[in-house]
Structures are given as C-alpha cells and as structure tokens.
Amino acid sequence: MSILKLYLTSLEPDMSQTIYSQSIGGYVSNSLIYPETTVSSIVGLYDTSVSLDTPSSGNWSEWTGIEYININNELMKVSPVSNGSISVTQRGYNGIVNMHIKDDIARASSSKELFNDVFNDEHKQYRCIALKNVSSLTEPSGEQTATDISVYFKQSSRNSDSVIRIALEKPTNQYLNSISTSWSTMQIIDTSLIGIYLDNHFKESYLKILSGEGTGQAKIISSFDSETGTYTFYNSFSSSYDYSINVKYEVFPSPAQRIKTGTEVPTMTGENIIPFFVPDENTPMRFIIEGSEFSTSDLAPNDILYIWLEREVKKGTAKFENNDLVLNINYGVS
Amino acid sequence: MLISDLKLLLRFNTDSIFEEVSQTNMIKTGDSSISVLSNGGGYVMQNDQYLFGDGISSDGYSTDISSAMTLGFWLYPVSPGLAINPNNSLPTSIEMPLLDFTDIGSATSSVIKLTEHTSETGSNYLKVSMFNENYSASSEEYIPLTWHYFWIVYSENGLGIYIDGKQNSLQNENGSVPSSLSGSFLDLYINHSVEGYSWNLAKNYGIIDDIFVLNIANSNNSDIQRVINDGVKFLVDDIYTSTFVDKSSIYFNDPETITITSLIDDMSYVIAGRNDGKILRGSPLLWENRRSFSNLEEIDILGLSSSSQEDGFLKLVNETVRL
C-alpha cells in the first residue's frame, strides 16, 4: 500500500524548512507541510471528540497553538491540543463531514501558514510543495508504487476573493539506488547506467552514500556523463576514504525550479510542467505522455511530484478568512 | 463494472427509479409524481406513495442471500412525534415503513423489514426484523433532520447495525437470528407497510439514497468509510475499488494582527520589520509627530498666516507645502 505525504520545499537538500513562506521550490525538505499523527479509534459522522495517537516525535510540542485538525478532507476546529484527547468545537469547518477510522492520518493546521500577505503587482503569490511516496523500499516494490496519480481540488478556497490554481512539476529524474563501479573524491562511476540516461540527467540531484566509507555523506551532482556513467560533484568527498572499495549509493529526485521570492512567477514551460489550472474531480491534472511505454504518472517509493500553488486575491480585499482548500490525490495500486 | 457480490443498487439519479443490477425500473404506486433530489441526492418518500420492484420479468431481484448479507443506505429521517394511544391516552411511538424485502409475489411474507420508530426523546430508531418478526432488533437512537448513514450486516453470527460509521449496541433484541434467510429472489417495497396502517403506523416522508445489497457479510470499517466519505461506487464498482484517495487540506488565513518587530532609522529612511516577514521602507518625514489641529493655537505655532481649522484638519489657504 502506498503512503503519500506532502512536504515543504527548501533551498538546500536534506534540510528542515521552518519558514512556510520559503517553500518556493528547490529540494524536498524534511518538514511535512503540517505535523501529523494517526487516529486511534473510530470517529463517527457527528462525534465531537477525537482520540489521536502520540506523534512519532513522542510529544505534542509541535501541536501547540493548533486551531484546526484535518482528517480525510474534513477540517475540525478544536480546543487547544495538549494530548491525544481532542475536543472538537466545530465539525466540518470547511463544510465537509467525514467518518474516520483507526490509523487515518490526522494533520495539525494552524490558521496562518503557507501563505502570507505579500503579493506581487498582479496580487499573486506562489508556493511549492512536494508530494512524496514515503512507502518503504522493499522488493518487489510494485505494491508500494502509487499508479496513475491525479491531483484535483475537492474544495477550492471558500473565500470568494481568493483564487487558488495549481501547477505540477515533474523532477527530471526520480529516485535511484545502485552500486558504484569506481569512485573518487569528485566522481562516482556506475557503468550500469551507461547509455540509459541522457547527459546531465541527474544534474543538481542529491546523491548519498549508503555503505562503506562515507556512509551518510552526500553531495550535489554537477554533471552526469551518459557515455561513461559518471557523476561529478560540485565539491569533494574526504580524501581520507578508501576509494578502492565500491559503495552503494542513492540519488534523490531532482529539485524543482526555485523562485527567488514567493511573489515571482515560476516558469511554466517545458515537458516537465503542467501549467496553472483549476482542476476538479472531472478534470484532474496528471502526467501522461502519448505513446510512452511507461506511465509518467506513477510514484515509486521515494519518488516525488512537485505541486505549485498560485494564490490570487482581488485588489482591495480587506479580509482573508476561510482560505482553505482541499487537495485530493487519486491513485491506484498495482 | 459492478462487483459480483452486489445484488441490488439504487442510486436515485433519475425520476425513473432504476435498479442497476437487474437493469429494471421500480414501479410507483400513488397519485403524486416521484420526487428525486437533484444530482442523485435521494428519493423523497411521500405520504401517498410507495415504490415496488420485482426485478426481471417480475421474478424478483436475484439477491442470492443465504446466510450473509450487507445492506447500506443514506437516510434523512423525519419525526412526526408521538401518537396518542386511543386505548389509554398515553403518548406512543409511531412506526414508519422504510424497506421491506418480501418473498416474490407475496405481499405479506416479509424476509427482511426495516422500519423507523419515533421516541419520547424526539429521536428516532431503526428496527430490523426478519421472517415476519421472528427475529428483530433495534438500533440506538439518532437525531432526525440530519443525514445519517446506515450499514446493516447479517450473518449466522448475528446482526450488526452501524450508524454514521459506528457500531450500535442492539436494543430490544427478540428471538434468535435465523441461520439462513433463503433469499434467492426477493421483491422490494420502499415506504410501504404491507400490513396496512393504523393510529401509530404512518407513512415515512424522509429521504433515502444509495441503497445497496451485498450477499456477503462485510463489516470492514475501511469499506464503510469509503462509502460514507467517497461514495458507494468505491465499494461496488471495480473501476474504483482499487482506487485510493489521499486527502490533504491546506488551511490558511492571513495574519490578523500585524506588529512591528524591528525598526531602524538610517537618517534617509525608516525601515520597519513586521511579524509577517514584510519589510516596509518609508520617509522619516511621514513618521514625525502628528498634530491635531483642533486647537487654533496649533496653527499659530506653525506660523501660517492664512490657514484655518476644520474638524481637526488644517486647511491651507495660499500656503506652500513641499512634498
């Protein structure tokens, strides 16, 4: 079964992102868009108390100040959260009431996050979040692959002065793990990749050593040579490693484009982009390339799809409340 | 394509009450026209009307129910209150018909019957009867005028009633759960009491939607949830049964209170940092002390010769101001 999660994006790889307004493309960060945990018992349609499991962090500190929780599309307004016994002051805050069962994901939502009040001259602002398949990488991995992914708004903003559109950006390369055939301080050569990927297919991606000398060390790839299967890095690994022993390594999906500020319009051209659109259940957004042997809309474990959000407000609008939206991601399992 | 376990499906998408497994229409009895909410919102039961269905060639719906069954539907219940018992003048619960699966061709041999009942608390409860009430049990109470989801599971092990996704404790259980329903082919009545009506037995005028019957016992919470949250098609249509929906709400309001967290005057500009991350730059001239010109002496301080005061504002006449 696939597990998909939404993360903030950041300038550097393998970092936490604590400033929501800086989730404007680049690498997937280690920060979920909202802290989350799981539901510990069934919540019926009209129940006003919810039991949650203790978050994986072991405490509720990330949930301090939380005003809303989101389970299965439903926003609930809640009393201050200090433990897993949640008192709901309003079910269906966004007009959606659902049933919840044990192990459903419950996400904490504060009311003033992701977007702020800084807009460009066209009264727009942009954010980029990453949809990642976090299922464990096991063999065979087919069951963990989310197939035929499509994205749409189950519910757009309830504030009529605020319009949200989304665009999709596919990384140039998805997750890969393999074993080097030789390596040095500035390069890893993997002859199994010769001729399979184009030159610079992995440029700007993040490569991490998984075994042997330098386990856990990682570098950003500056170039990839298809003819020799050679990754070259911007800076070097330690010269003290024993480079005669080959290593397992993994390459993470390439970063999304990164804009300088949240008011800059991201580039919306190229085959890796589906431009801004307001998708609904009948017209969802998905990547399909005609004649392609492989579906480009699948996400295997560790694969990523970037989702750009464009928010436009009407000029002169004084009040911005009820700015919530429900993003649904449909997928199948093989 | 519909799954093979599905034996009856009524989604009330059109005025012709179409049963999708047998591909036949139910028949309306009564004078008023059929009322169906738009976008498949449900069938509005009426005081002078009921629906009857008997499948292909009047042979009954091929329910193929022996020792297991699952029945689900949405219901918007109403409560007509209580009736006065003519014998003792005491307020008494009113019974309202809902669904009645009968032997084919027999208007009186009920195999599975669901009725609603009013209570003194103002709530309703659902009663499930089998084999002409040889066995019956009721649900817990639920509030009328609110949509509720009902999921009823029968197996040799017993009866389960789930309302809004939660299993109820069975109330007023009478008799033993039958080991088999022998329901190979059944007729269906909606909002009809085959025994007739009386002072405490009235027509139902609630709304019912998305009725389905499976010939297996399914009490899987995740299936109940998929039907409630995503729709019955995610349970009965194999195009959707392997489709999952990952849901992510993004909630945000703009900051309600803007505060200045830092301030620098570099002698050319005043630069202010705000708690929402925005940085403002302005002329120091605009930040000087604002004066109230409600006092005429303030005008004198400025040394203006031909100006006057109106409602606290300074009116300049033949004066020069540098912008």
Residues A64 and A137 in one domain: no
Distance of CA B111 to the CA centre of its chain: 29
Which residues fall within 8 angstroms of residue A205, CB to CB, at 6 or more apart?
A172, A173, A220, A221, A251, A252, A253, A254, A255
Res B44: pLDDT: 96
Instruction: Tell me how far apart the alpha carbons of residues B209 and B90 are, in angstroms, rounded to a whole number.
Output: 34
Determine the average pLDDT of the residues in A17-23. Answer: 89
**Which among A101, A114, A328 has the least Cβ separation from residue B252?**
A114
Contact indicator for A116, A21 with CB cutoff of 8 Å: yes
Cis peptide before A140, with omega less than 30 degrees from 0?
Answer: yes
Contact A329 B242 (CB under 8 A): no
Q: Which phi and psi angles does B153 have, rounded to 5°?
A: -120, 130
Fill in the amino acid letter for B240.
Answer: Y
Full domain range(s) for residue A211: 176-251
Q: Which two tokens stand for residue A82?
A: 């200090």
Residue A327: its chain B contacts at CB < 8 A?
Answer: 247-250
In Å, how far is B167's CA from the nearest CA of chain A? Answer: 9
| Residues A86 and A143 both lie in one domain | no
Question: Do A230 and A329 share a structural domain?
Answer: no
Looking at the structure, tell me whether residues A23 and A168 fall in a common domain.
yes
Q: Answer yes or no: do A204 and A246 share one domain.
A: yes
Indicate the residue among A193, A224, A251 that finishes a domain: A251
| Residue of B112, B114, B120 whose CA lies nearest to B63 | B112
Q: What is the pLDDT of residue B310?
A: 64
Q: Which of A70, A91, A109 is the last residue of a domain?
A: A109
Q: Is there a single domain that holds both residue A60 and residue A102?
A: yes
Same domain for A62 and A7? no
Q: B221, A154: Cβ pair inside 8 Å?
A: no
- Which residue is it, tokens 């990749």? A193
Looking at per-residue confidence, does A231 or B312 come out higher? A231
Confidence check: pLDDT of A291 > 50: no
Q: B194 pLDDT exceeds 90? A: no
Provide the pLDDT confidence category of residue A181 given band limits of 50, 70 and 90: very high
B140, B250, B257: which to substitute to probe chain A, counting the most A Cβ within 10 Å?
B250
Contact B164 A99 (CB under 8 A): yes
Choosing among A72, A148, A307, which should be mutated to test the B contact, i.e. which has the most B CBs within 10 A?
A72
pLDDT in tens, A70-85: 898 888 999 999 899 9
* Local structure of residue B146 (DSSP, 8 states): S
Of A109, A133, A160, which residue constitutes the final position of a domain? Answer: A109
Q: Which residue shows structure tokens 């999952």? A: B244
Residue of B nearest to A67 (CA): B251
Helix, strand, coil percent values for chain B (each to nearest 5): 10, 45, 45
- Residues in B whose CB is inside 8 Å of some CB of A read 143, 146, 148-149, 163-166, 221-222, 224-225, 228-229, 242-256, 276-278
**Which residues of chain B does A321 touch, with a Cβ-Cβ cutoff of 8 Å?**
253-254
**Interchain contact, B228 vs A332, CB within 8 Å:** no
Cβ neighbours for A163, distance < 8 A, ≥ 6 positions apart? A156, A157, A278, A311, A312, A313
Within 8 A of A6 by CB-CB distance, chain B residues are 248
Q: Check if the beta carbon of residue A59 is closer than 8 Å to that of residue A82.
A: no
Q: Which member of A19, A101, A321 has the closest CB to residue B253?
A: A321
From A260's Cα to the closest Cα of chain B, the distance in A is: 15
Q: What is the ipTM of this complex?
A: 0.75
Query: How far is it, in rounded angstroms, from Cα B210 to Cα B42?
Result: 7
Is residue B233 within 8 A of residue B242, CB to CB? The reply is no
Whether A112 sits inside 8 A of B166 (CB atoms) is: no
Q: What is the CATH number of the domain that holds A100?
A: 2.40.30
Tell me whether residues B249 and A325 touch, CB distance under 8 A: yes
* CA gap B198, B210 in Å, rounded: 29
- Give the model's pLDDT for residue B175: 94
Do A41 and A67 lie in a common domain?
A: yes
- Buried residues in A249-271 as b, exposed as e (16+ CB within 10 A): bbbbbbbbbbbeebbeebeeeee
**Domain check: are A292 and A305 in the same one?**
yes
Number of domains, chain A: 3
Scanning every residue of chain B, which has its alpha carbon at the shortest distance from the alpha carbon of A33?
B250
- For residues A91 and A229, state if they share a domain: no
pTM of the model: 0.74
Torsion, Cα A17 A19 A21 A23, to 10 degrees, reads 0
Beta bridge partners, B211, equal B10
β-bridge pairing A273-277 and A206-209 = unpaired
Higher local confidence (pLDDT), A1 or B65 = B65
